[in-house]
């Protein structure tokens, strides 16, 4: 990613043994300010428009040999820096990101450095150390204290019974005050806090490398949240889903072993005065380490026909449907007919013990040739433990065979070795020019910018859950995650259901699943949700029956040049416009409440456009599959009233005349 950089750098040497006044750092627009105090401990506070919204929050790092850094220390030096740059982001929801910030590095006499960075829409800090020998990290103190905490959208961890730090990272949100948060519970990030006056603060982390991921828990004083990290695994055994996972049976007293000279992950907060501002926040893109793989021209985003969600339950064919060669050739023919770039072979194509042992009823070479002849790529599902055991050979063999990439599943951990596994996969897949889709994964933390072949992540309570859940508020969740989970990065929600139901008729079904909400709610997801590799989850037989909807889905790009957040209220509704080339795409979704909103088309350029619109039909509240397709002429002066049914949506493809 080429960068155009303008840098102003100044340094200030602090020589006194103590520093009684706070060190201050303002954002470029001066609306945000960080204050750092170094007394008996180090703390920082964040101000919005002159009012404290976070802090004082203490910071320290506890090492096995060196002790607690950030306690009873003094400032050695403060360095300030300002930077304004453009980062090229070709596999993203926009082609360029403006990276304009002010930065302050505080170096302490005990060897700890803290880099503070502030933007107009967020702030972050990271620790640094410069020891010559390796270090053992016992703990990192991260606190997020809120003077005003009205409520938070809390995604509790759902732990596996064999290890409290093992989870799929798929959770719905509980809307809670601090007093209502369960003590000692683990919370998945991103976490959103409403900090008074409708101000929203989203907590996440960026540049997570060679280090465990961070969970949050309510602090003892109930003034905010503190960090918890999965301890380093000392003993593991094979188990879990289909024996594909490595189950931790013993953990250490420390969280990481590391080189002594390093940068630690960014502790980041995105801020907004209006909910809609969170829909297009680029904090993660700005903080992530830059592209390490160079040329990206071989990376091909797109749609993928997926077999697992629909249980390979095709019909009106003359062969037995299932995990077999004939079925996959049918999926490939469907993909080729509609211009869908990929087909995934989910679990079952290989033996459980080894990805190099192909099931006898799968002619993988024949499937790949059939796909190649039709311009379709093949992606293989992989359990993480078998892949980890044979990674180099698996990628070498299947790259030579023509496999485009992997969907890697069931890591269900974010301790240091598993985080390192992500980087190992990303680097090796890039070597073989293959894509990676992480499922059973923690939230994105910027790896998708460092290795852009890592094209999407799960880490979301997606459509797959309707196959078994008793949760009845998917439409509300669907219009919550664009403000919270999506801020961290792409999410493989796996939309595209063609059987659509209202709240009263919906049932969890495994073989013929249905969505909660309307058809147009599903169509809008392909615009509202960012995922450069976007699944089409339903049955090809259903898609062929629903030709209009399928053509529309297939026509929507998965990466964009520009994003405009049009409107939205957290948990209520969302409306987003995205541009790819000269064409625009607009998606809107609502919760279970019927809703009327106004779309302002002022984002369009000059001239007239034809908008192909899918809107909820008059009976969509009774039958979620009811929709209307219409074509209207629009220009930048157009405003349009959009009516969405209960659990409804609205989607448009807009092309210049």
In contact, 227 and 191? CB cutoff 8 Å: no
The backbone region for 348, taken as left when phi is positive above 0, alpha when psi lies in -120 to 50, beta otherwise, is left
Catalytic residue among 33, 107, 414, 464: 464
Helix (H) or strand (E) holding 391: helix 384-401
CB 373 within 8 A of CB 347: no
CA distance 396 to 229: 34
Residues pairing with 650 in the sheet? 588, 615
- The pLDDT of residue 7 is 41
Q: Is 409 a catalytic residue?
A: yes
Q: Which ranges of the chain have pLDDT less than 50?
A: 1-18
Measured between alpha carbons, how far is residue 365 from residues 340, 401, 588 in Å?
20, 7, 42
Residue among 483, 553, 529, 520 at smallest CA distance from 643: 520
Instruction: Label residue 369 exposed, middle or buried (CB < 10 Å: 0-12, 13-18, 19+).
Output: middle
The angle, 0 to 180 degrees and rounded to 10, between the axes of the packed helices 519-528 and 547-555 is 10
Work out whether strand 500-501 and strand 515-516 pair parallel, antiparallel, or are unpaired.
Answer: parallel
Report d(CA 386, CA 246) in Å as an integer. 10
- Running DSSP on this structure, what letter comes out for residue 71? B
**64: alpha, beta or left? (left if phi > 0; alpha if psi -120 to 50):** alpha
Q: DSSP alpha helices (H): ranges in 339-415? A: 364-373, 384-401
Could you tell me the residue ranges of all domains in the chain? 3-148+205-270+283-287, 461-530+559-657
pTM: 0.96
Count the neighbouring beta carbons within 10 Å of the beta carbon of residue 174: 16
- How many helices (H) does the chain have, and how many strands (E)? 11, 41
The DSSP call for residue 292 is S
What is the topology classification, in CATH, of domain 3-148+205-270+283-287? Beta-galactosidase; Chain A, domain 5 (2.70.98)
Per-residue tokens: 142: 């991260």
The pLDDT assigned to 11 comes to 41
Residues near 439 by beta carbon (within 8 Å), at least 6 away in sequence: 407, 408, 409, 410, 457, 458, 492
Measured from the Cβ of residue 510, the count of other Cβ atoms closer than 10 Å reads 10
Pick left, alpha or beta for residue 547 (phi over 0 → left; psi -120 to 50 → alpha; otherwise beta). alpha
Q: Tell me whether residue 21 is one of the annotated catalytic residues.
A: no
Hey, which bits of 398-509 come out as E strands? 405-409, 435-438, 454-457, 500-501
Active-site residue (options: 110, 409, 538, 561): 409
> Which token pair is 608?
């007239």
Q: 461-530+559-657: what fold?
A: TIM Barrel (3.20.20)
Q: For residue 68, what pLDDT is reported?
A: 98
- Name the pairing type of β-strands 245-251 and 233-239: antiparallel
As a whole number of angstroms, the distance between CA 354 and CA 389 comes to 9
pLDDT of residue 272: 98
Residue 18's pLDDT is what? 46
Judged by DSSP in three states, 578 sits in strand
| Token pair in block for residue 3 | 């960068």
What is the distance between the alpha carbons of residues 437 and 393, in angstroms, rounded to a whole number? 19
């Amino acid at each position: 990613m080429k960068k155009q950089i303008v840098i102003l750098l100044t340094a200030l040497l602090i020589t006194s043994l103590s520093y009684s006044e706070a060190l201050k750092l303002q954002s470029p627009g001066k609306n945000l300010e960080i204050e750092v105090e170094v007394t008996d401990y180090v703390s920082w506070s964040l101000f919005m428009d002159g009012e404290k919204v976070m802090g004082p929050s203490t910071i320290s790092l506890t090492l096995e040999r060196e002790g607690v850094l950030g306690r009873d220390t003094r400032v050695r030096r403060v360095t300030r820096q300002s930077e304004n740059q453009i980062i090229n982001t070709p596999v993203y929801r926009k082609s360029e990101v403006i990276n304009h910030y002010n930065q302050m590095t505080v170096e302490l006499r005990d060897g700890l450095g803290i880099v503070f960075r502030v933007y107009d829409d967020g702030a972050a800090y990271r620790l640094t150390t410069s020891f010559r020998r390796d270090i053992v990290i016992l703990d990192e103190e991260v606190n997020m204290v809120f003077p005003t905490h009205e409520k938070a959208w809390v995604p509790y961890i759902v732990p596996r019974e064999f290890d409290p730090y093992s989870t799929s990272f798929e959770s719905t949100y509980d809307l809670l005050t601090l007093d209502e948060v369960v003590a000692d519970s683990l919370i998945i990030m991103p976490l959103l806090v409403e900090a008074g006056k409708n101000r929203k603060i989203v907590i996440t982390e960026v540049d997570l490398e060679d280090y465990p991921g961070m969970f949050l828990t309510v602090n003892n004083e109930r003034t905010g949240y503190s960090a918890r990290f999965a301890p380093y695994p000392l003993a593991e055994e094979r188990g879990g889903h289909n024996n594909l996972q490595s189950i931790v049976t013993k953990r250490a007293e420390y969280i990481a072993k590391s080189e002594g000279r390093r940068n630690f992950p960014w502790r980041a907060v995105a801020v907004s005065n209006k909910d809609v501002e969170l829909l297009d926040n680029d904090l993660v893109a700005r903080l992530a380490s830059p592209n390490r793989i160079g040329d990206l021209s071989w990376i091909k985003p797109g749609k993928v026909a997926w077999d697992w969600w629909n249980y390979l339950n095709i019909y009106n064919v003359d062969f037995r449907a299932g995990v077999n060669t004939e079925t996959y050739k049918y999926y490939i023919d469907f993909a080729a007919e509609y211009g869908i770039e990929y087909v995934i072979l989910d679990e079952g194509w290989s033996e459980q013990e080894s990805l190099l042992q192909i099931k006898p009823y799968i002619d993988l070479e024949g499937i790949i040739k059939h796909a190649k002849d039709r311009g379709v790529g093949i992606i293989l599902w992989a359990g993480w433990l078998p892949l980890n055991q044979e990674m180099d050979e698996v990628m070498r063999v299947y790259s030579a065979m023509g496999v485009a990439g992997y969907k890697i599943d069931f890591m269900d951990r974010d301790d240091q070795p598993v985080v390192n596994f992500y980087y190992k996969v990303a680097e090796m897949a890039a070597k073989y020019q293959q894509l990676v889709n992480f499922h059973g994964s923690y939230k994105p933390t910027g790896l998708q910018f460092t290795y852009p072949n890592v094209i999407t992540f799960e880490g979301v309570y997606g459509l797959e859950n309707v196959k078994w859940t008793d949760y009845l508020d998917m439409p509300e969740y669907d219009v919550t995650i664009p403000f919270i989970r999506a801020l961290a990065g792409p999410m493989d929600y796996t939309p595209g259901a063609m059987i659509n139901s209202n709240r009263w008729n919906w049932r969890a079904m495994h073989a013929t699943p249905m969505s909660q909400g309307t058809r147009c709610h599903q169509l809008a997801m392909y615009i509202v949700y960012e995922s450069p590799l976007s699944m089409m989850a339903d049955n090809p037989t259903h898609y062929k029956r629903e030709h209009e909807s399928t053509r529309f889905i297939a026509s929507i790009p998965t990466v964009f040049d520009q994003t405009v957040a049009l409107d939205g209220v957290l948990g209520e509704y969302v409306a987003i416009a995205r541009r790819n080339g000269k064409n625009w795409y607009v998606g809107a979704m609502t919760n279970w409440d019927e809703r009327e909103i106004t779309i302002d088309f002022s984002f369009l350029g000059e001239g007239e456009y034809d908008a192909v619109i899918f809107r909820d039909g008059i009976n969509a509240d009774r039958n979620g599959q009811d929709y209307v397709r219409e074509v209207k002429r629009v220009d930048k002066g157009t405003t349009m009233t959009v009516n969405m049914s209960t659990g409804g949506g609205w989607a448009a493809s807009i092309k210049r005349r």
